[in-house]
Every structure is written in structure tokens, then in C-alpha cells.
Structure 1
């Protein structure tokens, strides 16, 4: 008997191993947030009732709601809620810097970023939207298969310390979500967002930081090393760097917030020791605000 089926199964299990836990965690996170019924809150194409309004001269006779009109001297029509599906593209930083955590058994930035992005995708898919990944990696679609493929792709790690978003594949007038620590070269972020803005793509930037990166609790002799091991700095007086570091971090946040504002996006900083549910609710609301 050929051992090909066993080899195939072994390979499939190895391939599938990373993303079921991620998908399960994202499903759990998504279920913890109540976002209500998905709606555009304006008249348009759809099946969901929104409101009654007095009939106008341009309304056809067949659109009159005779049951409602019978209770009044005026004629009324039903407005339906606009429910045209939107396309939302996600970029999640998979660079080595995202694997950092300062706490023993703590949540890494990568885990929080991937879980948050995938949970956002789950909520959007439940609302009837099409979701995908930037860079033409995964064009926006609906369905559980799309979610599984997204979980698989987001479970991969990259070798370089910092990654940059790939704005390819963004559809005109679509929406986007970028999740990263944004500790790398911001000119690459600016270039991607400029390209998105040219296509009238709106969205949200979510910065994921470890609490140590926000507080800089280092003093005395300290060795700072990048997660890939390619960058290394040793100092005998780490405490002397605190003020300069915090100033530069504040400048970086201001630059990101200004960039988001100019492009019509939303910006938010989230720490890995904070509630993931609150970050998910902010992210979903920020995307819905522009849809």
C-alpha cells in the first residue's frame, strides 16, 4: 500500500497547525463584541426596512405601502436600508519586531495584531462585506473559506525586522485596515497611504505596542537587540535615553495621527496588556464610520 496518503495528511496537518488556534481565538474575540445589526442608515438598495416616508410625485404606484397608507390621509412608501457590500483590505505587519513581548508568557504584538485583524474580518464578513489582504495576496471575498485562507496567511512570519504595507490590489473607494507597531521606516507607510488616498481608499491605522515600549522601564547597563538579531546597541546608562526615546515615540505617534487625518483615516494606539475587545470595537467602528 502506498504511503502517499500518510505523507499528504502529515503535510496537511503541518500546514494547518498554525492557524486553527488563531482562528479560534479570533472567533472568541469577535463573539465578545456586540456590534448590533449591520446597517448603512440611509436609503438605498436592500431588503431591510428603514423608515416610512410620505410618497413623492416620482414614486411609482407599486411602491406605495397601502397598509400603512390606510391608517392616514396620506400615502406612504417604505425606505429600505442601503446594503451594498463593501470591500475591505487588511494589512498586518508580519515583521520580526512584532514577535516582541516584555512579559513572561505575555501576548506578543504579532499575536494581538493578527487576532485583532482576523476578528475584525469575522465581524465584517458576518455583516455581508467582502474582506481580503493587500498586495493582491487575497482579493476580497466572502465566506468561511476566505477566512480560513486569511488565517493561514496571517500565521506566517517574516524574517526582516520591519515590514511595510503593500498598497497593490486596493480597489477604488474601498476600505483598508493597517495593523502594525509602526516602528520601521514611516516613509513606506506614507507612500502606501498616499497610493490608497489616490484611489479614495479610507480606513484605519491601529498601532500595537508592548507596555515596555510605551514606558521604557530600563535603567543601568542594558543591551537592546532587534528580534532578528541584526541590530544591537549596548549602553551603561539606559535611564539617560528614556526622555529622548519617549519624545521620539510621541513624535512618531503625532506623525501617524497627522497622516491618518490628512488621508481621511482613523488612528489608534493599542497596548498588548489592554483589552483586545475594546480595540476590536474601536477598529470595527472606525471602519464602519466611513462605509
Structure 2
């Protein structure tokens, strides 16, 4: 099996496993249902979806008085949102994403690609338009092949920066990266996306070694490109400072995402991929 075929098979398998996870999450069942009209959610559509109890702030014209007359409560008649969303994926292909703390564990890049493709499978099945940065988001299963071809190209830089090219105004976006490089480009990309009315998610993918810093004694730290190198005789003494810096970075990303109306989540390759996929899918629905 070729690399692309294997990657596609893994993404398809992961995408097919999501409905089982959704069955265990009862509170998602009403909003994460894939059907011919796409992801079911309230909006300005033509098809009746459901009645829900009226909340404070609902306009009087939204209340269905006929349904409300059958009980002591007021109900709002919701219609299904049928307009397909355009979702742009940026999956970091920089050299830092090729890192793995153990030879038996896949590098971050593999996990990021599988998650991105699995998410694309789910979105396309739901009738959404999907594309990678620089591509025009399109619907249909055939779009997966175009995504695979684009993902095969790796970058030569140590660290990647989100690309907002091709993003559709008022669409959705997903940035998947380790976000270990300078954060200024990330902030600039988020600002540019927000200016277009784009909302989305930041999914940080790390290796367990980057989370735990298990190093002791003499250690040479070197970037994957070899442009940054640091040697120490007592790596263990750096652990507390490293973990503090990592926590600061995660907090920065969290606050940055929140300020732009986005969502942030950190996932590491020692965890089950399904949990990150479920989070990303929920976050695109508007949850946390």
C-alpha cells in the first residue's frame, strides 16, 4: 500500500469511528447528526428541525403559539440550517512536526495529517466544502484526493506559520500544528482570519516527550532542521523552566484563540486520536 493510500485508509477508519463516540456523548446527539442537509443546526433554513423551550431574549415572533398552547410553556420552532460551510484546513508540514520521542511512536506530522483528513471526511460527508490553505474549498468525496496530493509536500523550515490564503469570508478554519515556533505569525494569521469573519480552532499536537521533558544528564537539543542547537550537562535542571515556558505558551494560545472567537486544544500523540477528532468536530459546531 502506498503512503497516500495508507494515510487515506487511516483517516477513513478514524472518521468512521466518530459516530460510535457520538453515541456515548448523548448531549451531542441533537446537534451532531450527519444527513443529506449537512450538519444539523438551527438557522435560516426551510426544513423544520425541532421545537425547543423558549429562553429569555427570544423575540416574540419566534414563539410558535400553536405548539405553546398545548402546554404551560412557550416553545420556539427551529428550522434546520442548510447552507454549507466552507472549512479551510492548515496542517503544519514543517520539520518540527517530524519529531517523535520514541522510534515506535509516529511523528507529530502523521497524527496531524490523519486528524485533518479524518475531520475532512466527516465534514464532506456532512455536505460541507473543505480545502487546504491555498485551495478553493469544495464539496464531495473526490476532494479528499486533492487534499492528499497537497499534503504530500513537506516544508523545509524548522517551524510552520498558518497560511490564510484561500479562506472564505465568514467560513471556518482549522489550524493543526505543534505551535512551537514564534507566535507572532500565528497571531497575525488569526487576526487576518478574524478580520474576514472566519472562526475556527487551534489544535496543538505535541509528542509526550515534549509534554513531560524526561531528559537527564548530558543532552544535546537540536531542532529538526539543525539550525538551533543547545548542549547541557544536566538536562534535568532545565525541566521546571521548560514546563513553565510550555504552560505559558499554552496559556498564550488559549487567550489568543479566545480573543479572536476561536477555540484551542492541546493533544499529544500518546493519546487516542479519537478524542482530538471529537473535540475539533464539536468546536466547529460552536461548542467547546
Q: TM-score range by the shorter chain?
A: 0.7 to 0.9
User: Which blocks of at least 5 consecutive residues in structure 1 are unaligned?
Assistant: 1-15, 53-57, 59-67, 69-77
Could you tell me how far apart the structure 1 residues matched to 2:117 and 2:111 are? Answer: 10
Q: CA deviation at 1:241?
A: 1.0
What does residue 124 of structure 1 align with? 123
Q: Which residue of 1 aligns with 2:88?
A: 89
Paired residues of 1:113 and 1:179 also in contact (CA < 8 A): yes
**Is the aligned partner of 1:277 residue 2:255?**
no
Larger gyration radius, structure 1 or structure 2: 1
- Closer/same/farther in 2, CA of residues 43 and 170 from structure 1, 3 Å limit: closer
- CA shift, 1:156, in A, is 2.3
Whole-Å Cα distance in 1 between the matches of residues 163 and 78 of structure 2?
A: 40
Cα drift, residue 171 of structure 1: 1.5
Q: Residues 79 and 244 of structure 1: is their aligned pair in 2 closer, same or farther, counting only changes over 3 Å?
A: closer
Asked if structure 2 preserves the Cα contact closer than 8 Å seen for 1:129 and 1:142, the reply is yes
Residues 98, 49 of structure 1: CA spacing in aligned structure 2 closer, same or farther, 3 A cutoff?
A: same
**Superposition pairs for residues 47-196 of structure 1, below 5 Å?**
47=47, 49-51=49-51, 80-134=79-133, 136=134, 138-196=135-193
- What is the deviation of 1:40? 3.8
Contact 2:125 2:141 in 1 (8 A): no
CA distance in 1, matches of 2:205, 2:228: 21
- Residue matched to 2:14: 29
Paired residue for 2:255? 258
Q: Aligned partners of 1:88, 1:112: CA distance in 2, in Å?
A: 20
Measure, in 2, the Cα distance between the counterparts of 1:22 and 1:128: 22
- Matches of 1:168 and 1:156 in 2, distance apart? 17
Alpha-carbon shift at residue 244 of structure 1 (Å): 1.1
Q: Equivalences for 1:10-49 in 2 at 5 Å?
A: 17-34=2-19, 35=22, 36-38=32-34, 39-47=39-47, 49=49
Aligned partner of 1:219 in structure 2 is 216
Name the SS for the 2:225 alignment partner. Answer: coil
Unaligned runs of 5+ in 2: 23-31, 53-60, 62-66, 68-76
TM-score, with structure 2 as normaliser:
0.82
Q: Could you tell me how far apart the structure 1 residues matched to 2:80 and 2:276 are? A: 28
**Deviation of 1:288 (Å):** 1.1
Question: Paired residue for 1:75?
Answer: none
Aligned 8 A contact 1:107 1:273 in 2: no
| 8 Å CA contact retained: 1:88, 1:129 | yes
Count matched residues. Answer: 257
Classify 1:79/1:267 alpha carbon distance in 2 versus 1 (closer, same or farther; 3 Å). closer
TM-score, normalised relative to structure 1: 0.82
User: Contact between 2:33 and 2:40, CA under 8 Å: does it hold in 1?
Assistant: no
Q: Distance in 2 between matches of 1:43 and 1:163?
A: 36
4+ residue segments displaced more than 4 Å: 46-49
Residue aligned with 1:113, SS: helix
Q: Is the 8 A contact 2:91 2:113 kept in 1?
A: yes
Among candidates 244, 249, 257, match of residue 247 of structure 1: 244
Question: What is the deviation of 1:18?
Answer: 3.1
Deviation of 1:133 after TM superposition, in Å, equals 1.2
Q: Tell me if structure 2 keeps the 8 A contact 1:46–1:84.
A: no
